[in-house]
Amino acid sequence: MSASFFSDQQKHHNPPTFFAAGNFHPHPEIPDRADKLLEAASQSGLILEEPQDFELTYIKKIHTKRYIDYLQNIYTRWSRKKGMSLEVFPDIRPDKRSCGYPKSAEGQAGFHHLDLSSPIEKNTWNSILWSAHSAAHAATLVKNGEGASYALARPPGHHAGKDYAAGFCYFGNSAIAAEVLKSNFDRIAILDIDVHHGNGTQDIFYGRSDVLTVSIHADPIRFYPFCWGYSNEIGENEGVGFNINFPLPRGTEDEDYLKTLELAIKKINDFSPLGLVIALGLDAYKEDPLTGLSITTEGFQKIGKRIGKMVLPTVIVQEGGYLCPELGLNLSSFLEGFNSERGL
C-alpha cells in the first residue's frame, strides 16, 4: 500500500464546542488530528495524493437528497436569521423518522441531527465533501486493481446515517467507499474497529445482503451511541444476517480483543467478500481521550497484521482516534502490521 488521500480542505471544519452530558465541551475532532495522522502516514511510506472531485456522484448513492441539500445550505440559511447561534445546533428531535418534514432551519436541524455533537459552521460543507472524496478516491484505486489504499477521512463518517449527522460525522465515508467498490465487486464487507459502534454505517446497509457490516466496539449499554450496537441487531428484510455486532466490555485489552477479531474475520470469510473496507478507529487506544477499550500501540500492530492476512482488496478509511501523544504512532503501528502481511 503506497497511496493515501487527503485534501487540505478537510482541515477547515473546526467547530469550537459540542454538547454532551448536559454541558458544552471543547470539540475533540479538530484539525490537529489530521496533522498528526498525515505525519504518521508519511513516515509509514504512504504517498499523499489530492483526491479527485467526484461531485455528489457517490454521496447520492448513500444519502438522501434532502439531507445533502440541508448540509450544503443550512449554514447560510441559519446565519441569515437574527438571534441564532454561531454554529448550527438542533434544539428538537423527532421521535421517529417518518414524521413530517419541516421547512424551517430550526426544524430541519432537529430532523437531520441525531445528537448535539455535530455542529455545522461556515467551513463544514467543503470539509465533509472532500473527506467523502478522499474515501471515494481511495476506493476507486482499489476498485481498479490496487491491493490497498488509505483515506484520511476527516471529518469522520461512521455515525452518519442516510439522512442524519451524529457523533462528529456528516457523510458516511466508509459506506461511500463500500459503494464505490460495489461498482466492481458483487459482495463487500465492512469491518469497523472504532471504539464506538458505527450506527450510521449499520443504518445505511441494514436492509441489504450485498454488504456485510461487522463492528467490534465498546458495549453501548453505557457508552456512545448507547441505543445501537447490540448483538441482536442482525439486519432486516433482505439484510437479515448481514449485520453483526461484537460489543465488548469496557476496558477490554489486546488479548481478548484479538480473540473477538478472529470471530469477526470468520464471519467475514463465511460471507466470501470480494472487497473489504476497514473503518479504522484508533480511539480503542487505552489512553485515547474518549477511552472505552484498552488497546495498546503494539495491539494495533497485531490488529493490522491479522487484517492484512485476509489478502482482500482493502480500503482503509480513517474514523475516530483523538489527540494524545500516541495517536500518530498508533496509525503507524496498524499500517506496519497490515503492510507486513501484504509484502510491503
Each of the 344 residues of the chain gets a pLDDT tens digit; together they read 789 999 999 999 999 999 999 999 999 999 999 999 999 999 999 999 999 999 999 999 999 999 999 999 999 999 999 999 999 999 998 887 788 999 999 999 999 999 999 999 999 999 999 999 999 999 999 999 999 999 999 999 999 999 999 999 999 999 999 999 999 999 999 999 999 999 999 999 999 999 999 999 999 999 999 999 999 999 999 999 999 999 999 999 999 999 999 999 999 999 999 999 999 999 999 999 999 999 999 999 999 999 999 989 999 999 999 999 999 999 999 999 999 998 76
The residue type of 254 is: D
Q: Model's pTM, two decimal places?
A: 0.98
Q: Strands 17-20 and 23-26, how do they pair?
A: antiparallel
**Which phi and psi angles does 17 have, rounded to 5°?**
-140, 165
Give a yes or no: residue 145 inside a domain: yes
Give a yes or no: residue 239 inside a domain: yes
Inter-CA distances, 139 with 52, 70, 132, 188, Å:
12, 26, 11, 12
Q: What residues act catalytically?
A: 159
Give a yes or no: residue 231 inside a domain: yes
Give a yes or no: residue 104 inside a domain: no
Helix (H, G, I), strand (E, B) or coil at 77: helix
Q: Count of domains in the chain?
A: 1
Beta strand ranges found along 234-292 (DSSP E)? 243-248, 275-280
Give a yes or no: residue 109 inside a domain: no
Give a yes or no: residue 163 inside a domain: yes
Give a yes or no: residue 77 inside a domain: no
- What is the domain range of residue 223? 3-54+126-341
CATH code for the domain in which residue 222 is found: 3.40.800.20
The residue type of 267 is: K
Give a yes or no: residue 172 inside a domain: yes
Separation between Cα atoms, residue 1 and residue 47, nearest integer Å = 9
